[in-house]
Amino acid sequence: MSTLKLSILIFLCAVITACSQVTPFEDRQREPGTTYIYKGESKPGNPAICYNPLFYSKENILERADKLCQENNPETHAELVDVAYFSCRLFVPSKAYYKCVASK
């Protein structure tokens, strides 16, 4: 195998490995140097969670969204608003949008 082919193979393996996170995550990052300015679609009262529906059920994602809502306000729970497909990373393609509502 030539050096060029080996280099391309190593590069492709590194790229695929970098994109291979399959655990669900909240689509939010804090803007550096600030406390309350966030980048991403998830807000404290409206969590957005990226996930892979092949590995995680909607119930698992709802539990995660409930936790995020209760971190903000302990007397709330999450309700599903919408699901967008192919809007996150390669191996985590689905994004579920929730809103935090008061518990009954």
Q: Work out the average pLDDT over 40-55.
A: 84
pTM comes to 0.71
**Which residue's entry shows tokens 């995550």?**
25
When pLDDT is cut at 50, 70 and 90, the band that residue 4 belongs to is confident
Give residue 43's pLDDT. Answer: 76
Closest-CA residue to 88 (of 34, 36, 32, 21): 21
pLDDT, residue 72, reads 84
* 49-100 tens-digit pLDDT: 999 999 899 999 999 999 989 988 889 999 999 999 998 887 888 999 999 9
Please check whether residue 52 is in contact with residue 95, taking contact to mean a CB–CB distance below 8 angstroms: no
Is the predicted pLDDT of residue 39 greater than 70, yes or no? Answer: no
Contact of 64 with 91, CB cutoff 8 Å:
no
Please state the domain extents for the chain: 22-102
Nearest to residue 72, comparing CAs of 52, 34, 102?
Answer: 102
